Amino acid sequence: MEVDQVATAMNQMASTVQEVAQNTEDASQAARQASDRAAHGSSVVQHATREISQLAGEVGQLGEAMQRLIQDSDKIGGVIDVIKAVAEQTNLL
């Protein structure tokens, strides 16, 4: 009878060891997947950071171009004022 109990205990222990081994393998696989996903996430964030930096530079250039456009528009407005003044004086003659 003791032999049967020992055999049953050994079978239970072997089953428990197999279950622990499977759980360890599952945890290892989950850790690898998490690591892969974290690496991918890091890559995505780095790419987004580069794109945002590039966009910020382009927005800065756009701001400079808009400022030049405003200045050029002011100059054109000045030329138009001169033309109007000449036209008014021409009409006086």
CA 46, CA 54: separation in Å to the nearest integer?
Answer: 12
Q: Is the pTM of this model over 0.85?
A: no
What secondary structure letter does DSSP report for 93?
Answer: -
CA-based radius of gyration for the chain: 40
What secondary structure letter does DSSP report for 63?
Answer: H
CA 77, CA 83: separation in Å to the nearest integer?
Answer: 10
Residues 22-66 have pLDDT tens digits of 999 999 999 999 999 999 999 999 999 999 999 999 999 999 999
